[in-house]
Amino acid sequence: MTFERRTTRQVVVGRPPGPSVAVGGGAPVSVQSMTTTKTADVDGTLSQIYALAGAGCDIVRCTCNEEEAAEGLARIVPRSPVPVVADIHFQHTLALAAMEAGVQALRLNPGNIRKPAHIKAVAAEAKDRGIPIRIGVNAGSLDPEIAERHGGATPEALVASAQRELAYFAEIGFDDVKISVKASNVRLMIDAYRLLSETVDHPLHLGVTEAGPPPAGLVKSTAGIGTLLAEGIGDTIRYSLTADPVEEVRAGRTLLEALGLRERKGLDLIACPSCGRAEVDVIQVASAAQAALTDRNIPLQVAVMGCVVNGPGEAREADLGIAAGRGKGHLFVKGHVVRVVPEADMVDALVAEAERIMEEGVDAVLASADAGAEAEAEATRLELLATQGEDVNHVEEHVERIREITGD
């Protein structure tokens, strides 16, 4: 599955030999998050940055809201495994201080740094240092004059705010810019980014701001970000969740991998929704498998299926899977049953086989399949079909009863 991505210019956050990430211009869509620690707490912030990087974060943002935070950044940036962006609000002097601290990019909110002289002073310094800036427009902090002119926080108002900031930058010849036009309203966010993508060719940073805690925050963020990515819009993303920022990164990586925009680096667990044919508690087994496999960073698609009747066939494209039947787990690789294990050992067997695939490869595991495993699985499948029938949920019986009730 591929999407025709919108063509944009490219900015690079960071500079070799230090960490650097290209954004836009055909570079892979990157994942961002923001630390929740006090930036002045150097060790605590670095600990969180390393956790974010371990989860797949490409770029991290830290607040720079006071002098102590800028001093903290001077100690954090040289030790960070990923580029650091300073988040600036209200005080342009803190943007200048953050650049002196060595940050690889800035995020400015045009809604609360409004004096043209201050904006241009920051842009001039960024230009001299080769540091890109994200114009971070937010529906909740629009300049009142722009909001009034456009009738509130409309897509046109958000884009106008970004354009005004770009005009200030253009006056001093600075165009190393990314842009975001975030809103907590998903429909507004989507429409604003669509309009922006038709208006400028700068790389776009996608996000639904203040999305809230999971699961609602995940749904809103995925609805907004996923819709735009599927249209080819967006070059870097952030899930803004009221949660551990590591969860933001995992969500972002999962979305990009699901859309085929990044190579899978983590687990993709699929599971049937369960039905009357299920031989085990699918929810419990799937949850146990998820917990056992997630932290192993195994980049496989793994299936947990409730019965052997349809399981291996329905999940034949999965790298690995297990299906239940008559008190046993039927372990399959690429749709071929390779082993049959006791039901109590299903999750352990799944983990062991996943590790074998990572060490030896799919072909080697298929070649070492237990003799008779396929035949045993087929016998169980036929036995279940004979006792349960194809219509395991008794649909036709219900249809007949309905006809009796309605008199047809």
pLDDT digits (tens, 9 = 90+) for 267-286: 899 888 877 767 788 889 99
Same domain, 174 and 222: yes
Query: What do you get for the CA distance between the two ends of the chain, in Å?
Result: 47
Q: How confident is the model at residue 93 (pLDDT cuts 50, 70, 90)?
A: very high
Residue 229 inside a domain? The answer is yes
Per the model's pLDDT, the better-predicted residue between 221 and 314 turns out to be 221
**CB environment 235-271: b (16+ within 10 A), e (fewer):** bbbbbbbebebbbbbbbbbbbbbebebbebebbbbeb
Same domain, 236 and 302: no
Residue 395 inside a domain? The answer is no
Same domain, 246 and 273: no
The CATH number given to whatever domain includes residue 33 is 3.20.20.20
Same domain, 317 and 376: yes
Residue 42 inside a domain? The answer is yes
pLDDT, residue 365, reads 93
pLDDT, residue 2, reads 62
Q: How confident is the model at residue 388 (pLDDT cuts 50, 70, 90)?
A: low
Structurally, the chain folds into a number of domains equal to 2
Same domain, 300 and 363: yes
Residue 400 inside a domain? The answer is no
The CA distance from 398 to 276, in Å, is 14
Same domain, 60 and 204: yes
Mean per-residue pLDDT, 146-172: 97
Any idea what the Cα angle at residue 89 is, between residues 57 and 134, rounded to 5°?
Answer: 50
Residue 284 inside a domain? The answer is yes
Range in 105-109, 169-173, 355-359, 376-380 the model is least confident about: 376-380
Q: What is the pLDDT of residues 107-148, one digit of tens each?
A: 999 989 999 999 999 999 999 999 999 999 999 999 999 999
Q: Could you tell me the residue range of the domain that residue 353 belongs to?
A: 268-388
Q: How confident is the model at residue 163 (pLDDT cuts 50, 70, 90)?
A: very high
Range in 88-92, 147-151, 354-358, 404-408 the model is least confident about: 404-408
Closest CA to 193 of 184, 206, 176: 206
The CA distance from 354 to 338, in Å, is 13
pLDDT, residue 391, reads 55
The CA distance from 108 to 91, in Å, is 10
pTM, 2 dp: 0.87
Helix (H, G, I), strand (E, B) or coil at 59: strand
pLDDT, residue 376, reads 86
The interaxial angle of helices 346-360 and 282-294, nearest 10 deg, is: 40
